[in-house]
Amino acid sequence: MSKELGKMLTTCSPVPEQVRKQFPQEDVEMKIFGPGKKGLTRGIRITFANSPLIGKSPEDRSQQAKETANIVKSHCPEIKDVEEIDVIFSKVSDIPGIFHADIPVEIFRFDNDANPLPPNKSPSEVLAETGSNTAPQENEINLMVSYSPSQNETEIFVEGIQLEGVRGNGLTMMPRLSVTGDTSRVTPRAPAFMRFDFASFAEKQRFTGLTPIAFAGDKLDYQTSGQFSTSRSNDGLISEFLYLTVPYATFRQMASGKSLTVTVGTHKYQLTDEQFRSLSKMIQYVKDE
């Protein structure tokens, strides 16, 4: 499957430039995800990072998403081999070599003819079938599996663990595993470390200095701390991000239990059953030996 994804990236390479020409104010990224059904590529994802439209109406974002899907349709020669087109508006914070957080605010899904896809199946159900990226609904838990052919690396992460508030205005936690190889073909060895990304968006700064972080479950009690970075996003909210490295063995203990409570600063958050199950699914992609 990695060869097919690489070929699709090459044939669809004109797409990002065409999107930038249409929307010169946008920071544009394209990714290809697979596998899909009957050998098709699962999807093409176009992301607008920190888009000026995040602070505007849903209608504005919907119109730009539709125009973007039409660009993908027109400039990707093998579009009929793609199951869906996802257009994502996300908040991104990036400190090179140190931290990267990408939180989708709104996602629009289209078929390969640029027609909007009906919400006849939840994104979690689609992910369970394909192990691929798709569009999350508000506060829905998604297990994402993204393979990069150029780096021969798969990233497995949970998107949408909302500890407080709503996506884009509250506190979100995103566990991530990065492994060598394509997990659709092999089961790679577990990494020595994984990471938790914490992202807070609020009207006022919430975390100053070193912030205590604790994970408590029926199989462990792990305590550490970290320093949140702080900036102001273009919608006026204060953005705070924490990149937290945790030994994989510790994470495996968390995910192998029956429940988990996460403490950030002075606030405790009991994960729901759905949130906890998403952690358990992550460890199924790797082997310990």
- Return the DSSP state at 232: E
CA-based torsion, 128, 130, 133, 134: positive or negative: negative
List CB contacts of 34: < 8 A, sequence separation 6 or more: 1, 4, 5, 40, 41, 42, 43, 132, 147, 184
Q: Quick one: which of 173, 185, 191 has its CA closest to 283?
A: 191
pLDDT by residue for the chain (289 residues), tens only, comes to 445 555 666 778 889 999 999 999 998 988 876 655 555 456 888 999 889 998 788 889 999 999 999 999 999 888 888 888 999 888 776 544 444 556 677 888 899 999 998 653 333 333 334 343 333 333 446 677 777 777 788 888 887 689 998 777 889 998 999 999 888 778 899 999 999 999 898 889 999 999 999 999 987 899 999 999 888 765 677 888 898 999 999 999 999 999 999 999 999 999 999 899 989 989 988 987 6
* Domain annotation for the chain: domains and CATH numbers: 1-133 (3.30.70.2960), 138-283 (2.60.40)
User: Residue 136 and residue 143: Cα distance in Å, rounded?
Assistant: 10
- Neighbouring CB atoms inside 10 A of 160's CB total 24
User: Residue 31 and residue 45: Cα distance in Å, rounded?
Assistant: 5
Burial of 38 (0-12, 13-18, 19+ CB in 10 A): exposed
Whether the CB-CB separation of 36 and 27 falls below 8 Å is answered with no
Tokens 């974002």 correspond to 61
Pairing of strands 99-110, 142-148: unpaired
**Whole-number pLDDT of residue 94:** 55
Specify the pTM. 0.60
User: Residue 132 and residue 44: Cα distance in Å, rounded?
Assistant: 11
